[in-house]
Every structure is written in structure tokens, then in C-alpha cells.
């Protein structure tokens, strides 16, 4: 609402250009490969129920690819990750998690390592639909060497040490 004189010209309306749609995905990876990934359907959000469903699928995948290796999840403190229902499901699924300081994007390997590399790869590509994006993300993930993933985990170890040395302060670069 705006006040204007009766003879004032009508306000200009700018044409709204639809922004590029986003394809959101959840990814779990270890020192060798991407273990599990899921793509979120358009108009969906990650809540506790959705995250628990993802954790169940992850547990099945871990049984196949990691067999007798221990698995420890390192995730952030987002509400779906720390809700009572999720914590109960983690115990039921016997999935161990690393504690994570609140608001620590510098300790989330996907945020500081995996996603920036993936974004570099995807930059400049144009896709006609979500399926093309998903296929290209799968292709990129399969094309990464185990050394690529090991380097991301090694960086996490360094960042954890810095975080402890700084009493939980941000690590960023």
C-alpha cells in the first residue's frame, strides 16, 4: 500500500522471472565413495519423518557396502537431525553419531568440501528437467576417486582439531 496523488502515474510492475529450480539431495559418504544419496521431490521439505526414512535406507545400504566396518554418522544440529523421534530412530537402527557443536558449518564435510566441488562441476550446465540434473550428479559422484573422498575426511579431522583448540570457535579457512 502506498499513498500517492490521484494524478500520479501508476507504479511500475516488474516482470517476475522464474528462478532456476533447485534439486535438493541428502548425501552420505565415507573415505571411499558416496554410500547413499536421496533426492528430495519438488515442494517437499526434510522433517524428522523424512529424515528417519532416509536413515532407514542408509542402514540397509550400509549393510551391503560396509558389511563388517563400523559406521559413525557426522551430521549437523538441524532440527530433523536432533528431534526426539530421530534420536530414538538412531538408537533403534544402532547408528552412532559424532557430537557436533551448534552452528558449525565448518565441520560439515559436505558443506565445505563435497558440495563446492560439485557446484564447480555443475556450473554453466543447463538442464531441461530434474532427471538430467540427478543423472549428472550421479555421474559426477561415481567419477570421483577414493582419494577424493579420503581427502574430505582428512580435512574434517584437521577442522575438528582446530575447533577443539579454539574452544568451539569457527574454523573457516
Residue 90: the pLDDT is: 94
Asked if 37 and 115 count as a contact pair (C-beta separation under 8 A), the reply is: no
Residue 170: the pLDDT is: 63
In the CATH hierarchy, which fold is given to the domain comprising 25-165?
Nucleotidyltransferase; domain 5 (3.30.420)
- DSSP designation for 15: P
Asked if 70 and 98 count as a contact pair (C-beta separation under 8 A), the reply is: no
Spatial distance between the Cα atoms of 126 and 132, rounded to a whole number of angstroms:
9
- Select the more confidently predicted residue: 147 or 17: 147
Mean pLDDT value across residues 50-57: 95
Share of the chain above pLDDT 90, in %: 46
Q: 121: closest CA among 103, 105, 144, 147?
A: 144
Residue 8: the pLDDT is: 77
Label residue 17 by pLDDT band (50, 70, 90).
Answer: low
Residue 105: the pLDDT is: 61
Res. 3: pLDDT tops 80: no
Beta bridge partners of 39: 25
Q: What is the pLDDT of residues 84-133, one digit of tens each?
A: 999 999 999 999 988 776 666 667 888 889 999 999 999 999 899 999 99
Spatial distance between the Cα atoms of 138 and 25, rounded to a whole number of angstroms:
11
Cβ atoms within 10 A of the Cβ of 15, count? 4
What are the structural domain ranges in the chain? Answer: 25-165
- Select the more confidently predicted residue: 58 or 169: 58
Q: 65: closest CA among 27, 33, 92?
A: 33
Amino acid at each position: 500500500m502506498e499513498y500517492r496523488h490521484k494524478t500520479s502515474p501508476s507504479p511500475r510492475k516488474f516482470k517476475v522471472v522464474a528462478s532456476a529450480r533447485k534439486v535438493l539431495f541428502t548425501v552420505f559418504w565415507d573415505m571411499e565413495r558416496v554410500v547413499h544419496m536421496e533426492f528430495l521431490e519438488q515442494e517437499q521439505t526434510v522433517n524428522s519423518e523424512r529424515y528417519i526414512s532416509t536413515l532407514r535406507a542408509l542402514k540397509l545400504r550400509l549393510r551391503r557396502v560396509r558389511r563388517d566396518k563400523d559406521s559413525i554418522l557426522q551430521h549437523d544440529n538441524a532440527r530433523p537431525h536432533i528431534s526426539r523421534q530421530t534420536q530414538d530412530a538412531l538408537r533403534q537402527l544402532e547408528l552412532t553419531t559424532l557430537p557436533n557443536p551448534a552452528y558449525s558449518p565448518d565441520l560439515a564435510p559436505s558443506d565445505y568440501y563435497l558440495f563446492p566441488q560439485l557446484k564447480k562441476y555443475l556450473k554453466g550446465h543447463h538442464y531441461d528437467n530434474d532427471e538430467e540434473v540427478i543423472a549428472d550428479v550421479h555421474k559426477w559422484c561415481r567419477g570421483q576417486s577414493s582419494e577424493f573422498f579420503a581427502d574430505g575426511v582428512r580435512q574434517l579431522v584437521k577442522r575438528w582439531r582446530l575447533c577443539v583448540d579454539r574452544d568451539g570457535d569457527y574454523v573457516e579457512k
